[in-house]
């Protein structure tokens, strides 16, 4: 039997499940390599809780080496910066090239810093590991100003709302948090009641939301908005939508108009049958799948199955993503806001529910390192 080589690029949510499944049931004749920029994956569902000091960073972290080892995969900590389809190789920032028969991308996205000045002056919320690594910078800014520090969070989606609430918990009266979005209200993709609950929670902690006024430029300590006067800040966190990793443009892969990898419902590239993609980096043709961790998680089992089938040369399975997902927003003070379709609910019980779901997720993929 000839051995084929599957290279997994990125330790994202879908690849965690791929590794877990290959650990449970190895595929004869398939060799695995995982390449990830960091040795650990941060579980985004718990990151706002880490910022709010509900959790230690360790509790939200999944080490990749033990999972890779369990799956029989070679693990390289490196950043992929190119994909040469003609040569069937992946290129890494270190200069290393890795040959593949099949390759799967689950690298997530990057922050959309297209607003002038955002790249220079803002702390991007994505990649999430990069944001967490810079939280000390924010702590230092808050410590160094005498007044309550002015922290602006730009982006009124679920990530921006959660970060604003988490930062208001972290700094209490030492900072005033303002949340800015260009849409007429927060959480435009969710029921109005959810937006009202977020605004109310922010208000309790002296924070405020500014809606319907897009930030058009970011200057040194000043946000210029489209309609109203400018806003001053000591620190600005950028949590607007997700953009595609720029290196994808240098590949010959078919991409959508925003630069994400076009895949069919089997998660296979529409332009190259050896390439798969899942999570935020993928754009599934004919399906409207939000760029959120919950969807990357759901793609995991289908991706694992289809990588196995592709390695065997068998027909792939088509994924029909569910229409709805449960959204749970950590509101701080051990409270959470839940959204299920048109229903919105909140309370300590929602936080406890979210806590148990999140802890179970992390536990599923944490494999103890050998002593
Ligand atoms: C503050 C915040 C809170 C959020 N909360 C939630 C939530 O509660 N629920 C929810 O559903 N979604 C949430 N999201 C969105 C969620 O984080 C993303 O949608 C999700 O992480 C995408 O998962 P993924 O598998 O596509 O990639 P990611 O989780 O981004 O993982 C990508 C992995 O690939 C690695 N990588 C990246 N580039 C490379 C490269 N070039 N080479 C090698 N490795 C690479 C990274 O190191 C990382 O390990 C939140 C986002 C933010 C910013």
Same domain for 167 and 120, yes or no, is: yes
C-beta of 213 in contact with ligand 1 (< 6 A):
no
Each residue's pLDDT tens digit, 98-128: 999 999 999 999 999 999 999 999 999 999 9
> Is residue 302 assigned to a domain?
yes
Each residue's pLDDT tens digit, 152-183: 999 999 999 999 999 999 999 899 999 999 99
Number of domains in the chain: 2
pLDDT band (50, 70, 90) for residue 1: low
Cα separation, 47 vs 60, in Å, equals 7
Index of the ligand 1 atom closest to the CA of residue 129: 47
pLDDT of residue 125: 95
pLDDT of residue 203: 85
Res. 262: pLDDT tops 90: yes
C-beta of 338 in contact with ligand 1 (< 6 A):
no
What angle is formed at CA 14 by the lines to CA 69 and CA 198, rounded to 5 degrees?
A: 125
The CA–CA distances, whole Å, from 161 to 164, 196, 233, 295, 350 equal 5, 11, 18, 19, 17
End position of a domain, from candidates 173, 206, 240: 240
- Do 190 and 183 form a contact (C-beta atoms < 8 A)? no
Question: 7 phi and psi, to 5 degrees?
Answer: -110, 120
Cα separation, 301 vs 309, in Å, equals 12
C-beta of 38 in contact with ligand 1 (< 6 A):
yes
Same domain for 225 and 160, yes or no, is: yes
* Mean pLDDT to the nearest integer, 223-234: 83
Same domain for 263 and 162, yes or no, is: no
C-beta of 300 in contact with ligand 1 (< 6 A):
no
> Is residue 360 assigned to a domain?
no
**91: helix, strand or coil:** strand
- Burial classification of residue 267, based on how many CB atoms lie within 10 Å of its CB (0-12 exposed, 13-18 middle, 19 or more buried): buried
Our mutation pick for probing the ligand 1 site, out of 37, 44, 277, 325, counting the most ligand atoms within 8 A of Cβ, is 44
> Is residue 65 assigned to a domain?
no
Res. 226: pLDDT tops 90: no
HSE on the CB side for 294, CA within 13 Å? 17
> Is residue 53 assigned to a domain?
no
C-beta of 10 in contact with ligand 1 (< 6 A):
yes
> Is residue 25 assigned to a domain?
yes
> Is residue 71 assigned to a domain?
no
Res. 69: pLDDT tops 70: yes
Cα separation, 31 vs 101, in Å, equals 10
- Ligand 1 center from residue 281 Cα (angstroms): 9
Each residue's pLDDT tens digit, 138-155: 999 999 998 899 999 999
Whole domain around residue 267: which residue ranges?
4-37+78-109+244-324
* Mean pLDDT to the nearest integer, 238-263: 96
> Is residue 279 assigned to a domain?
yes
Same domain for 103 and 115, yes or no, is: no
Q: Residue 97 maps to which CATH number?
A: 3.50.50.60
- Tell me the whole-structure pTM to 2 decimals: 0.95
Cα separation, 191 vs 187, in Å, equals 8
End position of a domain, from candidates 307, 324, 341: 324
* Mean pLDDT taken over the chain: 94
Index of the ligand 1 atom closest to the CA of residue 125: 53
Same domain for 230 and 155, yes or no, is: yes
Same domain for 145 and 222, yes or no, is: yes
Each residue's pLDDT tens digit, 179-212: 999 999 999 999 999 999 998 988 887 788 998 8
C-beta of 332 in contact with ligand 1 (< 6 A):
no
C-beta of 11 in contact with ligand 1 (< 6 A):
yes
Res. 11: pLDDT tops 80: yes
C-beta of 79 in contact with ligand 1 (< 6 A):
yes
> Is residue 340 assigned to a domain?
no
User: β-strand 61-63 against 40-42: which pairing, if any?
Assistant: antiparallel
- Residue percentage of the chain with pLDDT more than 70: 99
End position of a domain, from candidates 223, 240, 257: 240
Question: In the numeric block, which tokens belong to residue 299?
Answer: 């793609």
- Ligand 1 center from residue 291 Cα (angstroms): 9
Same domain for 230 and 254, yes or no, is: no
- Ligand 1 center from residue 127 Cα (angstroms): 7
Nearest to 323 by CA among 294, 349, 347, 351: 294
**80: helix, strand or coil:** strand
Index of the ligand 1 atom closest to the CA of residue 15: 25
Same domain for 120 and 211, yes or no, is: yes
Same domain for 224 and 116, yes or no, is: yes
Question: In the numeric block, which tokens belong to residue 274?
Answer: 């050896």
Index of the ligand 1 atom closest to the CA of residue 328: 8
Which of the pair, 51 or 226, is modelled with greater confidence? 51
- Burial classification of residue 370, based on how many CB atoms lie within 10 Å of its CB (0-12 exposed, 13-18 middle, 19 or more buried): exposed
Question: In the numeric block, which tokens belong to residue 161?
Answer: 């709302």
Nearest protein CA to atom 51 of ligand 1, as residue: 159
- Ligand 1 center from residue 280 Cα (angstroms): 7
C-beta of 251 in contact with ligand 1 (< 6 A):
no
Same domain for 226 and 290, yes or no, is: no
Each residue's pLDDT tens digit, 285-337: 988 898 999 999 999 999 999 999 999 999 999 999 888 899 999 998 889 99
Question: In the numeric block, which tokens belong to residue 232?
Answer: 């001053």
- Ligand 1 center from residue 166 Cα (angstroms): 18
Tell me the sheet residues that pair with 223. 218, 231
C-beta of 290 in contact with ligand 1 (< 6 A):
no
pLDDT band (50, 70, 90) for residue 229: confident
Cα separation, 195 vs 256, in Å, equals 30
Same domain for 234 and 297, yes or no, is: no
Same domain for 178 and 130, yes or no, is: yes
- Do 106 and 8 form a contact (C-beta atoms < 8 A)? yes
Res. 227: pLDDT tops 90: no
- Ligand 1 center from residue 237 Cα (angstroms): 17
Question: In the numeric block, which tokens belong to residue 318?
Answer: 């088509």
């Amino acid at each position: 039997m000839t051995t084929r080589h599957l290279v997994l690029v990125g330790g994202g949510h879908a690849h965690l499940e791929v590794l877990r499944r290959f650990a449970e049931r190895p595929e004869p004749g398939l060799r695995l390599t995982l390449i990830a920029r960091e040795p650990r994956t941060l579980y985004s569902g718990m990151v706002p809780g880490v910022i709010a000091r509900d959790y230690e960073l360790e509790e939200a972290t999944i080490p990749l080496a033990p999972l890779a080892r369990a799956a029989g995969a070679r693990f390289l900590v490196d950043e992929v910066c190119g994909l040469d389809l003609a040569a069937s190789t992946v290129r890494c920032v270190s200069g290393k090239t890795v040959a593949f028969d099949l390759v799967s991308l689950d690298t997530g996205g990057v922050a959309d810093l297209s607003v002038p000045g955002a790249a220079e002056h803002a702390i991007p919320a994505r990649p999430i590991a990069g944001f967490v690594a810079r939280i000390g910078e924010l702590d230092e800014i808050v410590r160094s100003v005498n007044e309550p520090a002015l922290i602006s969070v730009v982006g009124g989606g679920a990530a921006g709302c959660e970060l604003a609430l988490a930062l208001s918990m972290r700094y209490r009266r030492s900072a005033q948090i303002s949340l800015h979005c260009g849409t007429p209200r927060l959480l435009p993709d969710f029921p109005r009641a959810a937006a009202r609950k977020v605004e109310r929670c922010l208000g309790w902690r002296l924070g405020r939301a500014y809606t319907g006024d897009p930030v058009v430029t970011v200057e040194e300590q000043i946000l210029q908005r489209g309609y109203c006067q400018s806003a001053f800040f000591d620190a600005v966190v950028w949590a607007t939508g997700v953009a595609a990793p720029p290196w994808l443009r240098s590949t010959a892969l078919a991409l959508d108009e925003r630069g994400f990898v076009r895949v069919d419902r089997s998660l296979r590239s529409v332009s190259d049958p050896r390439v798969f993609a899942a999570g935020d980096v993928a754009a599934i043709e004919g399906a409207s799948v939000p760029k959120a961790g919950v969807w990357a998680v759901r793609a995991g089992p289908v991706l694992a199955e289809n990588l196995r089938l592709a390695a065997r040369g068998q027909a792939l399975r088509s994924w029909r993503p569910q229409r709805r997902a449960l959204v749970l927003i950590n509101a701080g003070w051990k409270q959470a806001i839940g959204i299920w379709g048109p229903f919105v609910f909140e309370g300590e019980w929602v936080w406890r529910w979210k806590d148990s779901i999140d802890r179970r997720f992390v536990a599923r993929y944490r494999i103890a390192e050998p002593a």
